[in-house]
Each structure stands twice: as C-alpha cells, then as structure tokens.
Amino acid sequence: MNALVTGGAGFLGSYLMNALLAAGHNAVAYDMAPPGPEALAITAERRGRYEIGQTSDQARLFDVCRSNAIDVIVHTASIVGLDVSLMQPAATYQTNIMGLVNVCEAARQLKVRRLIFISSNAAYHKGPGPTLREIDPVFSISEGNPAGHYGTSKMAGEAIGMAYATFQELDFIALRVTAIYGFGMRSAMFIKPMVENALRGLPSRFATGGPMKRDYTYVLDCVDAIMRCIDAPASAFAGQRVLNVAAGAARSAAEVAALVRRLIPGASIEIGDSLTEIEALNAKMRASLDVEAAKRVLGWAPRWSLEDGIMDYAARFKAFTASGA
C-alpha cells in the first residue's frame, strides 16, 4: 500500500511513518520542511520518502499523490493550539480548512481509497456528561468554541469531510485525538517541560495550571488506532465516521507533576493551583473522551497508562540526548 502522511515530518507524523514502514508499506511524508533530529530519531533506521510541499499548494499536492500512486492519505498537517489560533486566525483557517479541502480534492479526483483526518477533542463544546462522546455538541448558538479558531477549524473540517463522504463518495474518517504526548512532541501541555527538564536536571515552574485536565494519550496508542483505521474494511464505518481516540481518563496537570516527581528521581516541579482566564475558558472542553465507539469499530483500545507512557518518553529522550543528536 502507498500511504501519504501530510505533516509526516512532525511529531505524530513521524511515529506514523515509522509504523507504516515497519508494516511493509510505502510511506511518503508531505511536509513544508524536512524532518529534524527528533523526527529522524523516531524513524530510526527506516527511511520513507519525504516530499517538500504545503497543503495550500494544490498542484504540488496532486503531483505528489499522482506520482507516488497514493492509496491512503492520513492528514495530520495543521496549525495547532488555542493561543496560536487567536494570534493568527486567518492563517489557522487557511491552513486547517483550505488545506483539508485541497487534500479532499486530491483524494476525490485521484480516487484515493481512504482519507483519514486527524481531528481533535477541540472540536467539542463541553458535553452534558462526565465524558465526551461523538454525539455531544460541537456548536453553540450562544458562544464560540472554547479552543478558539483552532477548535472551530477542526469542527468545520469534520463537517467538510462528511460532505465529501456523502456527496462525493469519499471514504472519509475523522479521528478526534487529544493531548498526544511522547518523545518528539512540540506542544508543551505541561508534560513536555516537566519530563525533559527533570531529565536535564532543571526545575519546572508554572504560575498557574494545576487544575487543568487533559486526556493525555500516548503517541503509540494514537498510531495504533490510525493503523487500524487504515486497514479496516469500508463497511466498518457504515454507521459512524467520527471516532474518539484517547486514553479515556482525564488527568490534571498537578497529577502529572506528581507522577513525574515519583518516576524521575530529583524532578523539581512547582505548579500553581489556579487557572488564567484563557486557561479557564479552554478547560470547558477538557474532559475524558469516551472511546467505546473506537473499540467497537476498530477493535482498538488504549494500552499505555500515563505512568508507562511517561517512562517510555523519558527513556527515548535520554537515549536521544545521549546520542548527541
């Protein structure tokens, strides 16, 4: 199988490239920059094909898909995060929405077998229960998405993909992932500086954020779900094309700090027990995700506990720094 991974030189994209190559597939990364040292460490001895380009460049995207006879596209490329989206709303929509439209058009016109869109829990407004389910609201008639333009772009992206699925018969699947962590991660989410500073012998100090909950999900669990989504028959998605992929248990940043202190000797972490105004707004959609649909449709379930994930993250980071890369 020939698979294209947009954002394939990034964090999640690199782990997915590694998994595709390990499974014997031809993997092509489509990214605006070549892989950096951490991405190269993730793929280790396996080297896929890297094509430089942006999803905004429709001609380049079509050429790469056509010349590599792409069968499946996994679309991970996007501008990520609340803060960035508030500073750059137009760029967020241009990249996250029009970039997806270009990918959908490539998949439609070149008859790609399946398009998997990496969406986010940010598509949700807070649901009515303790966990977020795929049928919970993603739109409000009174207030904007708690994750700003980023969350709005993911919500809109799912709707666009579903329209392609209904009217253009594109086999479109959206996976709502959340708080993906592990070696090579770029977004801080508290856990990155906590782990990496502890291993460097540096302190981590956060004035606020202790109560902020996230459903921290280890990157290898996300990759496993994507690989199962790639391999599943079309009939598996007859009743549902949007699936949560998460650990299924939200943990506060204060809990993460306590775990890192216990698991990494000498870790010095202090975190405040309040939230800033923007953190409090964002916290509205921070809850555990219900993953029963992914279990039913994909036969998938999270396997990495937060403790085991932190330890694997730490081991990979130590090996990387020891290599002098």
pLDDT tens digits for range 55-83: 999 999 999 999 999 999 999 999 999 99
Residue 260 in domain: no
User: How many domains does the chain divide into?
Assistant: 1
Q: What is the pLDDT along the chain (325 residues), one digit of tens a residue?
A: 999 999 999 999 999 999 999 999 999 999 999 999 999 999 876 778 999 999 999 999 999 999 999 999 999 999 999 999 999 999 999 999 999 999 999 999 999 999 999 999 999 987 667 899 999 999 999 999 989 999 999 999 999 999 999 999 999 999 999 999 999 999 999 999 999 999 999 999 999 999 999 999 999 999 999 999 999 999 999 999 999 999 999 999 999 999 999 999 999 999 999 999 888 877 777 899 999 999 999 999 999 999 999 999 999 999 999 987 6
Q: What DSSP designation does 204 have? A: E
Edge to edge, what strands does the sheet with 26-31 contain?
49-52, 26-31, 2-6, 72-75, 114-120, 172-177, 242-245
User: pLDDT by residue (tens digit) across 116-137?
Assistant: 999 999 999 876 678 999 999 9
Query: Which residues, in sequence order, are CB contacts of 178 under 8 Å at separation 6+?
Result: 120, 121, 214, 215, 217, 244, 245, 246, 289
Tokens coding 187: 């977004």
Residue 312 in domain: no
pLDDT value at residue 78: 96
Distance of alpha carbon 200 from alpha carbon 196, whole angstroms: 6
Residue 49 in domain: yes
pLDDT value at residue 46: 75
pLDDT value at residue 211: 95
Torsion of CA 251, 254, 260, 262, to 10 degrees: -100
pLDDT value at residue 30: 98
Residue 108 belongs to domain spanning: 2-178+217-246+288-298
Residue 256 in domain: no
Residue 195 in domain: no
pLDDT value at residue 126: 75
CATH code for position 63: 3.40.50.720
pLDDT value at residue 13: 97
pLDDT value at residue 325: 63
DSSP line for 240-284: -SEEEES-S--EEHHHHHHHHHHHSTT--EEE-S---HHHHHHGG
pLDDT value at residue 324: 75
Are 28 and 3 in contact, with CB atoms under 8 Å apart?
yes
Residue 191 in domain: no
| Bridge pairing between strands 49-52 and 180-181 | unpaired
Q: Could you tell me the pTM of the whole model?
A: 0.96
The beta-strand segments (E) located in 178-248 are 180-181, 204-206, 213-214, 217-218, 242-245
3-state secondary structure of 205: strand
Residue 129 in domain: yes
Distance of alpha carbon 265 from alpha carbon 70, whole angstroms: 47
Residue 89 in domain: yes
